Structure 1
Amino acid sequence: MILPHRRWADGGRQAWQRAEELGFDTAYTYDHLSWRSFRDGPWFGAIPTLTAAAAVTSGMRLGTLVTSPNFRHPVTLAKELISLDDISGGRVTLGIGAGGSGFDATALGQEAWTPRERADRFGEFVPLLDSLLSQDVVTYEGTFYSAHEVRNIPGCLQRPRLPFAVAATGPRGMELAARYGQAWVTTGDPKLFETGTPAESRAAIARQAERLDAACEAVGREGAAPRKILLTGFTPDRPLASFEAFVDFAGDYADLGFDEIVVHWPIPDSFFEADHAVFEKIATEAVAQLP
């Protein structure tokens, strides 16, 4: 996870190139207008940043983690994603979630939506985006979104469309992940972040994974369940504290069936501060230590 907080010529470009040199499978960025403690500092747009990253990398996958309806519309987002997928040579994954009540929620002048309102919009956003990315022409009239003879030719380079990684913990989001997701994303149980233990957090995430499996069964999805992705930094664990800590952490989650662990690129004097030498050792040597 590379935050878009640096000018491209002042460390931004180098981070994406170095991530590929280190052998990362995928590099993501947040799709926010601003974010938490970085709100009063530099912050750049996700899609332009990923487009620039596509131009200076060649094999590493690229993605958002996550995009939400808070300030996005499916019609315009689909056009940008199709363009990005083409420029990158088919290396884009769309991480997508219902959004939260942070800065993005009110930036366009509206009141922040309630959790139910976010879920309602998300339930319409994802299927429409699926149609827009996989069909040449789409007309749709919904409660929250509309599309009138929208053309998205030639479509995604990846077929039938670029993959979705759906962030979800509740039943409605889990159903969307089961129906539309090539992957599922969790950050854990936020109630345990400050007061829980690593063991309690793992147990909560295991229960989430079980609910995903149940949702897949309920929609008749068999044999090709979504890949499981854990975005770190929001559980009681400190996986970047040492090489050994990461290997133990990743091994525990591999045992739970997780396919992908996402770590934050270290940022000095921030919530994501970490020893960069340890970070690079993890990137280059940790996989060989896992089962």
Structure 2
Amino acid sequence: MNAAAQTFDTQLRQSADQVTACLEALLSDTVAPDEIARPPALLAAMRHGVLNGGKRLRPFLVMESTALFGGDAQAAIRVAAALECVHCYSLVHDDLPAMDDDDLRRGQPTVHIAYGEANAILAGDSLLTLAFDILAGPETGLPDAVKTALVLALARTSGLGGMAGGQALDLAAETTAPDEEGIVTLQAMKTGALIRFACEAGAIVSGTGAEDRVRLRQFGERIGRAFQLADDLLDLKADAETMGKATGKDEARGKATLVARRGTDWAEAELARLVAEASTLLAPYGDAAKTLIDAAAFVANRDH
């Protein structure tokens, strides 16, 4: 590993540690104002779904995109934690028998395996709700208008027209294979939407202009698509131990991916193109955008 890669890995770990500490505090057994109680089994299931490792890439993008514009770093950690709650809720629900039916996540038993299906459903519900609690809470020291913008953007990203809708399209793809345009739409919703939000959120937190917000949104769209392409490549080439989850499931279920249709050579060229486009989008910010540009390369070239 070269020095630049080591530096980026260190930055990623440090931001992950900050967000994990925030999530630990949010998921303590201390009852918050206006809550009645925190049922121990449900809390344990939520903690299992969130505090089980992971790169925390989406939170990292929130924090770095905020840093790019000199925004409030402490508020960014809380926004990052809210986004991670949404991401982890989606994993808990995606792993359920009615969805992807997975037993392993990040090298550990999935929540429904460890705590039962009912607790897994409730843990996902509670994590999604907690995300908006975090954004709206007084501890997130942002103007109300900024909080409202974040709530709206995350809701649109997460629901019917975003991540949840993408999961619905993914389930439908098991019986009716989409064309390439359909695959792109599915992946932009299921995977890309949260990554797009992660990048755009920094501009929202910082209260910067509309042009910056659009530029970061476009950057997020590029790396969101790169993330999914890299994931599809890994699903073909990596083993379950390396990935910490089952691999080869898309092929086994007959799900069409762009990598399966176009081949690995095309996918690797497309990844290079997307990283180049993402880098060009941030070129106006000069050296200040170096970490985000490094993140784009990391997304495309990761091995797990």
Could you say whether these structures have the same fold, taking a TM-score greater than 0.5 normalized by the shorter chain as the test? no
Structure whose residues are more often strand by fraction: 1
Normalised TM-score (structure 1): 0.35
More RCO (CA 8 Å, sep 6+): 2
